[in-house]
Amino acid sequence: MKDNSFAGNLYIVTGASRGIGRSISELLLQRGAEVVGVGRNEKKLREIERRHSGFSYIVMDLSRPKAGEELAHRLKGIVVHGLINNAGYAYWGDPLKVPVEEYRRMTQLLYLTPIELSLSLLPELKGGVVVNVISAIVHVRFRRMTGYGAAKSALHYYTVGARKYYKKRGVHLMAVYPGPVKTDFFSHPSFEGEVDLLRRFAVTPEKVARATVSGIKRRARSIYVPWYLRVISMR
């Protein structure tokens, strides 16, 4: 029987053009939801729109200061059932050689934009959910992903600390911690093919999407993919 449990609900998914964000969007669409996807690659977003009648998109670079507020302004007044803060990338390398501009860009995209967006959309989100796609990296040390790990750790700390306050405003705050996932994430030029081992243990984006959507349904507080990665959070 077709699962229509998200029928009539609207979700905003950042980084919907590919990878985990695209898989989450497609699963929500399959379950009857409408999705507004956000990203920079219009060609890819248009292709998803062509395949799914419930999908529309906004082209935006979310690594710009105040991009979150700008996006929220464009969505003002629409009832939103969920916001999936997923857009992201990592700059790999010696932490002393990574350009400061990359630290700035990662901090904005991975940490500040999700906060700006969530706060600005709070009135539209009443009774809904904010999902922050973080990373299991917050529990381990990856020296060559220091800037990325620092920004994700900031989002992790925010998510855990602010959950109670979101709840008071009628919004459920959920965290997703994937391990390595088979997406374009590792194709960023800074990686220079140094991540073969990580790739070998990677799960599919569809697996992350299934765990996330099931977590939204049962109002989970945190999801680890694969589930056994939760043990590293207890160290």
Ligand X SMILES: NC(=O)c1ccc[n+]([C@@H]2O[C@H](COP(=O)([O-])OP(=O)(O)OC[C@H]3O[C@@H](n4cnc5c(N)ncnc54)[C@H](OP(=O)(O)O)[C@@H]3O)[C@@H](O)[C@H]2O)c1
In the bound complex, what is the minimum distance in angstroms from residue 64's beta carbon to ligand X?
Answer: 8
- What is the C-alpha separation between 105 and 89, in angstroms, rounded? 10
In the bound complex, what is the minimum distance in angstroms from residue 11's beta carbon to ligand X?
Answer: 15
Q: Which of 109, 145, 175, 223 binds ligand X (CB under 6 A)?
A: 109
Q: What is the DSSP string of 172-223?
A: EEEEEEE--BSSGGGGSGGGTTTTHHHHHTPBPHHHHHHHHHHHHHTT-SEE
Cβ distance 87 to 39 under 8 Å? yes
222 is an interface residue for ligand X by CB under 6 A: no
Task: Compute φ and ψ for 178, nearest 5 degrees.
Answer: -80, 150
Instruction: Write down how long the chain is.
Output: 235
Residue identified by tokens 């992350």 is 208
- What is the C-alpha separation between 59 and 34, in angstroms, rounded? 17
184 is an interface residue for ligand X by CB under 6 A: yes
In the bound complex, what is the minimum distance in angstroms from residue 21's beta carbon to ligand X?
Answer: 5
115 is an interface residue for ligand X by CB under 6 A: no
Q: Pick out residues in 3-32 that bind ligand X (CB under 6 A).
A: 15-21
In the bound complex, what is the minimum distance in angstroms from residue 45's beta carbon to ligand X?
Answer: 7
CA-based nearest residue to 29, from 15, 16, 40: 16
Q: Pick out residues in 30-59 that bind ligand X (CB under 6 A).
A: 39-41, 44
Shorter beta-carbon distance to ligand X: residue 3 or 184:
184
Instruction: Spell out, one character per residue from 187 to 206, where the chain touches ligand X: x when CB under 6 A holds, - when not.
Output: ------------------x-
In the bound complex, what is the minimum distance in angstroms from residue 142's beta carbon to ligand X?
Answer: 11
- What is the C-alpha separation between 162 and 80, in angstroms, rounded? 20
91 is an interface residue for ligand X by CB under 6 A: no
Q: Considering CB under 6 A, how many residues would be counted as binding ligand X?
A: 28
- What is the C-alpha separation between 115 and 110, in angstroms, rounded? 9
Residues that bind ligand X (CB under 6 A): 15-21, 39-41, 44, 61-63, 86-89, 109, 133, 135, 178, 180-181, 183-185, 205
